[in-house]
Structure 1
């Protein structure tokens, strides 16, 4: 409310007053000291040299905030005087340059900026008025020399100053952090920003986190528009890089920040598992948290901040040990020649009228000037170089560098004016120069120059470059000395890989950490494990799960496991893929060797049976079972045994083409022979009837025709199979984890099952006919043996189908070979072993007399059982 009233008075005051009238309209207020150096033209400088002494607000024992205990005490910030000296140094350089502003000298007037809107507005008006007793819209003679203002260490200060200076179109050059709000030329047409854009600060901080694998980081941000912009940028970059925010705390502005910072923020920081904390704020928020932290020791934390949050500058009673070994992003600056020499020779005696310098010197060196002359030092050899970092920094900070460039920007703009003289007016005595400040805007907007170290400076904010950063380590040595050690840098526009560098061996970590600290929500998942997110928690909080079968994790902290190539398999630790070995059902391995020997033994047994039948071919038992069909069946079975050998050994194109067709054709011949034998038995029984027509088929070649026709159908099926989709060599990398199975691909499963189905149809027909003829009265009737053999055969192949489908790799081949051998052996054993038993062990049964006797007995039994049979 007071600010609004103050502005109203400013706007409504008369436009010109003489000295007598001025005394009737002024704001009587003591604004504190200023420092003035005369010149033809004056530059105003606004610097935060004093801040409010906030320790009196706090009850240290009870941790309670008491607003009633406010005292209007201000604490000198000695280190900020580096900014004043940077302005003085730049002005002296400009005045010494005979080519820049010939015959014109620059002067300056220094004001303090307070953390108060009213006091800042009054200081701004004091610049315009030029009187200790501020008179709105009045200016004294010396104030007519003012051409520009350099000030605004923060956005709030810049806006407060602009609210007055903008009324008079007075050029205001800010040296604080770049802020997009001030770039709005509609609301701030007279404000210029010297600082480079810090839009890459968040990117650099996240690069630092990623470098050290810090994925669990706390954020403490000032609650302003600038803080919100930074928070948005850093969270977006953290999400891209897989870094999570453990917590987000916002430091409010004003007196409320003291209570909140004192009670809430330290408690939340201390209670968090994050060991790395990012702090982004300004001077006021820094002081608030520094006062609070001394009651909650947060030594275990690693702090990341910018140079605007200066740990080295603090109140005497504040313990800074908490922030020891912090990592600070500071805007890169080049060392200005002779600046350190200027600082070494700067003493109060050199500037006797500078009350700020005297106060700063008195505070830093703990001496008093009240009883001695100001030109005398409290120490004969005292120098700014002797002061510790908490009081003064001999290097040029980014803020001081911006001030130095701002002075030169004004000087170069005036230089352009001198070249044209179009904007100049003279007093009557032609000794003083008058320049209306608002006429500098057209020049300032377009000014660009190279400063003394070769850096190009732009006043056009659109061409303002993005800041480069030095990464420094704030270290408190054992003897209490505070130093800033450069440990790296971040150059946003450098090529990838060259933009970020860090020297880990130079960094001195907090005493808690012997080596590089860790800050993670969950420990790293080792190789062979993948991350499994916890439901409802941040992506950085996870459990480690072993990779599933067939997959590996060859790096740490992998989100997904990697599937090994088909020709490789995971090792036991599942962190590496090993090459698979080719394998197949070999003759040399035990299973292949067993099946091979079995096939040869059964084939040899079949040959022996053929020999027995040939030797006893004229005996009744051989003749009664149709020698031709028996020989055909035995030869087919021998080929069935041998066909199984095509399935053993390394698959080749020839083997794959011959396997299934030979197996199907030989088995078809065997089953069709059995079917022919069964039909022969039925015809033989019917031929015993006197008037039966079956007699004429017994001596014909009808059984051979059955074999030929049935086999021809199977040959046709196999021929179509080979023409349309023939089998071929293939690999199976999935059945066995460590092996690649070499096998024959059937080409067409439909054709394969069609072959099996046709054999099954023949077998079912043989079984049906044999089962119906099993009780026919005939000597050496084979129907019962054929029935049983077909039952065995069908049982084997019915079991084969599900087993074959569920098998993989070599087992599938072994199942088919076993089915071939077992079904063939079943046919051989059930049909021919009983005959061999009679031939070899019961020869008396294999005689004509025994046959006649058995036939007569069976005939009588048949006549009694069927009295009406003819």
Structure 2
């Protein structure tokens, strides 16, 4: 096998050691490739397209002098190439190796463009798919409410795809990219590009930046000058750029507190123990190890025993700081380890299928490496860790990520601390997890970074997006009447349910209080006491009239009509009690109809009494023919007929569209008012209108009869009582229409009591005054003397 290794970064030497460890482990396995010993060729790519092609040609030629399509005779031939730390390197090698159908297994980041089997039929990708990386990053942003984020990626196909996926996922979750920077790989060595990019990063209002790329494409960030430190940003870094490899101390400080998404891998059994034993004495032929060792220990490059004795006897890779070497297998080392085993198992299956086992057969076989393709495509096995390994990219699993916190301890030691993970195949409640208590943020700010364009609106306010700006930049406006915004939904206002209302801060819906004019209410209690008091007074007056029924003042103007009027007024006062208390269906049916009927009886009685005054005066004239109309039964008939008309109207009202209980949730904030609706508004105003006609008729008739010469003429009092009655009800109508809730009911009760009290006071109080306080005026002698006196005055 051959392997291309990136020499520039010392820490990548772990990948070479993972390759050697896997080969040694396979060679010790008696069941995998028995009687076959694997070997390796190491070639460097130097991060250069030209050097990559040169190394590939040198490997194919077998000599330092590269001759295309020419291979020197060697005892052992390679059967596959494991290489391509980046997509660009894989493409460069693949274009050349495809000419010979040579199997190439790429251990770099998974790139969908390399899955094109028409263009790269001999290339296989070992790395898991990063199709959920953008989802994992956005989940992290949402967890900390970071909605204003900068994005940095290389200006290539992988970087463009990552930026597109991130923008779409961020748009779906209403987060915004405040800053997008594409780093041109061709300009990565230009110093002026460093300053320009870093200035744009420093001037951006975003405090959190997502960095996607690898060591090659992000060389500008890797080699930045001390100016970088003052930007004070929090960095979220994806799997293929290891910030621990930064060459400058000040840059490492800048990344202190960064969060890294690393591919989740398992510990390779025995690998750490193997690393502890690695030294130049164990592998004297490894020139890379000699160079690596001499970079950190006081050892000469010569491999002679005296030279090796000059090295520190206790020197070990475990002693190196994290930025130079990591004892924990990286994601790429784990991928290389699996790649070696994939080649070994494919070769093992091919040997079994061809029933070959001798060295001569192997020599003949390896001269045709393209024969390994069918076995590589179908290979499937479990590695020593227990993970399933496949080279079929359609079955290649999605990557799982560990979220690591990069820290620089006070003793300048670098560490990576696991603080969370993202497993896309897990149950929904276990896909993303993070432990905030473990995370250490940047030293200059111990609080969690708040990377937003605009601070979230407080409770009771809603977002107003600024025109022409991203949705993350907005203004705040207070919620409208009847709406709230809570901490759970601060972006917009929601209307409270009908049975609830907003509190003063408009961040909580409170239950509305059921309200009606109750007896416990001071207003309801006062109106009820007033109604009972007036009804009691009316009953007392009725008893007075009954006791003095044979006196002239009671007998005048039809005694029976006076009784009927007093009883109806008593009922008028008491019917107002139907408007107090919680409305029910029965109460709503009785309220308006009872009120209309008893008031009609009262007005009909007044009309009949007024007619009696006029008819009685006309009867006193000689030869009058209307004596029969003055009889009591005629007056009673008039009251009955007028009342029956109102009963008929009320009956039609109840049959067509009767009153009903209903709730009013709008009139008073915080209250649900239970009230009686009229049902048919036309019928309601017909009842009032009919009473108005009776009142107007009584007023006109009594006005005409006010000056008739009679000792006990009631016309003057009836005229004034009708004036009070009409004034009350004319004022009632506009007031009733302009009020709502309990006030509307109170207005109607007041109109009933005021108009009834007006009738009672104007008609009966003068009579009671005479009956109780001036009894001498309630005698026939006084009436006769007054009549004689009036006659002498006229003569």
Question: Normalised by the size of structure 1, how large is the TM-score?
Answer: 0.83
CA drift at 1:837: 4.8
2:184 and 2:728 map into 1 onto residues whose CA distance is 85
268-277 or 194-203, which deviates more: 268-277
Deviations 1:448-506 (A, max 9, x none): 11111111001100000011111111111111111111122111111122222222222
2:787 alignment partner in structure 1? 852
CA drift at 1:675: 2.4
1:123 alignment partner in structure 2? 55
CA drift at 1:442: 1.3
CA drift at 1:732: 4.8
For structure 1, the 5+ residue unaligned runs are 1-42, 51-76, 861-870
1:438 alignment partner, one of 358, 364, 370: 370
Q: Is the aligned partner of 1:387 residue 2:320?
A: yes
1:703 alignment partner in structure 2? 635
1:102 and 1:613 map into 2 onto residues whose CA distance is 133
1:779 and 1:263 map into 2 onto residues whose CA distance is 117
3-state DSSP class of the match of 1:296? helix
1:366 and 1:791 map into 2 onto residues whose CA distance is 123
1:629 alignment partner, one of 561, 570, 576: 561
2:296 and 2:595 map into 1 onto residues whose CA distance is 105
For structure 2, the 5+ residue unaligned runs are none
1:46 alignment partner in structure 2? 4
Deviations 1:702-721 (A, max 9, x none): 33222111211222333344
2:165 alignment partner, one of 233, 237, 242: 233
2:343 alignment partner in structure 1? 410
Equivalent positions of 1:227-266 (< 5 A) are 227-255=159-187, 258=190, 261-266=193-198
1:488 alignment partner in structure 2? 420
3-state DSSP class of the match of 1:111? strand
RMSD between aligned alpha carbons?
3.2
Alpha-carbon contact 1:261-1:292 (below 8 Å) kept: no
Alpha-carbon contact 1:687-1:695 (below 8 Å) kept: yes
Q: Is the aligned partner of 1:158 residue 2:90?
A: yes
2:13 alignment partner in structure 1? 81
Equivalent positions of 1:95-494 (< 5 A) are 95-142=27-74, 145-255=77-187, 258=190, 261-292=193-224, 294-298=226-230, 300-316=232-248, 319-365=251-297, 367-369=299-301, 375-376=308-309, 378-421=311-354, 433-494=365-426
3-state DSSP class of the match of 1:489? strand
1:642 alignment partner, one of 574, 578, 591: 574
1:380 and 1:662 map into 2 onto residues whose CA distance is 115
Give the direction of change, closer, same or farther, for the CA distance of 1:634–1:318 in structure 2 (3 Å limit): closer
Alpha-carbon contact 1:325-1:510 (below 8 Å) kept: yes
CA drift at 1:354: 2.5
CA drift at 1:790: 2.8
Q: Size of the alignment, in residue pairs?
A: 791
1:392 and 1:227 map into 2 onto residues whose CA distance is 28
Give the direction of change, closer, same or farther, for the CA distance of 1:738–1:858 in structure 2 (3 Å limit): farther
Give the direction of change, closer, same or farther, for the CA distance of 1:623–1:360 in structure 2 (3 Å limit): same
Deviations 1:647-693 (A, max 9, x none): 22344555444332221211111122222233334444555666665
CA drift at 1:205: 1.5
Deviations 1:169-198 (A, max 9, x none): 111111111111111111111111000111
3-state DSSP class of the match of 2:232? coil
CA drift at 1:415: 0.8
1:673 and 1:831 map into 2 onto residues whose CA distance is 12
Deviations 1:118-175 (A, max 9, x none): 2222222222222211111111113971221111111111111112111221111111
287-296 or 541-550, which deviates more: 541-550
3-state DSSP class of the match of 2:178? strand
2:136 and 2:508 map into 1 onto residues whose CA distance is 35
1:6 alignment partner in structure 2? none
1:537 and 1:790 map into 2 onto residues whose CA distance is 71
Question: Normalised by the size of structure 2, how large is the TM-score?
Answer: 0.91
Deviations 1:616-662 (A, max 9, x none): 55555544433332322222111101111222234455544433222
Equivalent positions of 1:592-607 (< 5 A) are 592-607=524-539
Give the direction of change, closer, same or farther, for the CA distance of 1:479–1:692 in structure 2 (3 Å limit): same
